Chains A and B, each alone.
Chain A
Amino acid sequence: MEYIMDTWRELRRMNVRQMITQGLQLGLIVTSALMIWKSLMLVTGSESPVVVVLSGSMEPGFYRGDILFLNMGNKPIRTGEVVVFNLDGRDIPIVHRVIKVHERRNGTHIDILTKGDNNYGDDRALYNQGQEWLHQHHIMGRAVGFLPKVGMVTILMNDYPALKYALIGVLGILVLTNKEG
């Protein structure tokens, strides 16, 4: 409580120039983060260079909360690759392994079937009605790197949105009242 009163008194003591400076610093931090994210997208060629595993369908390899680093690259999709794909009309990406590939001679068309390591059957049950195969445009990236558990924070923030607002609020206040800037 004491800390909140001190912070409030400090905020009121700042003049306009100081407030603008602090606001700019906050803006710089946010845009730097955005720049790093966008450059990662360019470098990896993937729309989503880092994803958090959301389900247990790839256990015991990947658990909920694990982080995967994705790369797209130009090499054609082959079996065994752990790919992240988006089905038409759905926005939650799925991370599963490719188990069948049929690629046409001229390289223009490829049929892909995926399956979660921990699932009994292949993903045809997940695909849209009447869809038997995935194609190149469904694939958003291949997993090339792995970091355990670190993504749990994202899952918690999704399950408890109050946590997300609280975290952003605290960080915002800390940056705005940072006197070393």
Chain B
Amino acid sequence: MHSVWTRANTVLTLFGTVAAVLCLLTTGTDLLHKPDPKVKLGLRDVRRLVQHNGGREHAAVTFDLDADLRSVFTWNTKQLFVYVQAEYETSENRVNQIVMWDSIVQQQDKAHVRLNNHKTKYAFIDPGRNLRGRSLNLTLVWCVMPRVGRMYSQQSTHYVGKLPASYVH
């Protein structure tokens, strides 16, 4: 009745149950958190807009970003995965999303991101010839990665006007 195995079994089961409940409560606290991010995002310059072999268009752009994401952190936040993406519609595709830049923010006091005339990390390429004169939205998205539990993301979209109507070399 009170063998080592029975005791070990009981202790481990209790440990598992308590740990599971604590994890659920921890991730539950994220639902009560009200973040207050302040984001300014804009397109600064279109340095190149060219066509490549195979009919793809490629734009080299720079952007400005001022994002205060410090209030997004909770005690259960391990890191923020922050990225800027270009969004536009074409006649063939109703949704085009292209991530141009991303960054990992692991500490709350480093969560105020300021980028000036910043070059993109990843190429802004459309599979077709759809970029000239295209209306563009730039969106800042932050993915909250928890220490335990539910992962979620929030975003802030800004309309930045149209890309140039003709190629820029």
Contact = CB atoms under 8 A, between A and B. Distances in A.
Contacts of B143: 80, 82
Contacts of B85: 79-80
B28 to A, nearest CB: 12
A79 B97 contact: yes
Given A99-B99, A105-B94, A80 B83 contact: yes
A102 B95 contact: yes
A158 B163 CA distance: 52
A146 B96 contact: no
Contacts of A103: 93-96
B98 A100 contact: yes
Interface residues of A, number: 26
Nearest to B27: A145
Contact of A102 (B5, B96, B145, B153): B96
A144 B147 contact: no
A157 B23 CA distance: 25
A117 B122 CA distance: 13
B13 interface: no
A151 B114 CA distance: 37
Nearest to A177: B5
Contacts of A145: 27, 149-151
A117 B104 contact: yes
B122 A76 contact: no
A73 interface: no
B79 interface: yes
A44 B5 CA distance: 36
Q: Give the most central of B79, B91, B122: most A CB within 10 Å.
A: B122
B36 interface: no
Contact of A101 (B83, B92, B95): B95
Given A79-B99, A146-B149, A174 B93 contact: no
A107 B143 CA distance: 25
B146 A105 contact: no
A102 B98 CA distance: 9
A147 B97 CA distance: 29
Contact of B150 (A104, A117, A144): A144
5 closest A-B pairs (Cβ-Cβ)? Answer: A103-B95, A99-B99, A79-B97, A101-B97, A105-B94
18 contacts: A60-B78, A61-B81, A78-B95, A79-B85, A79-B141, A97-B81, A99-B99, A100-B97, A103-B93, A103-B94, A103-B95, A105-B93, A122-B122, A144-B151, A145-B150, A146-B146, A146-B150, A148-B147
Interface of B: 5, 23, 27, 78-79, 81, 83, 85, 91-99, 102, 104, 106, 122, 127, 141, 143, 145-151, 153
Interface of A: 60-61, 76, 78-80, 82, 97, 99-105, 107, 111, 117, 122, 143-148, 174
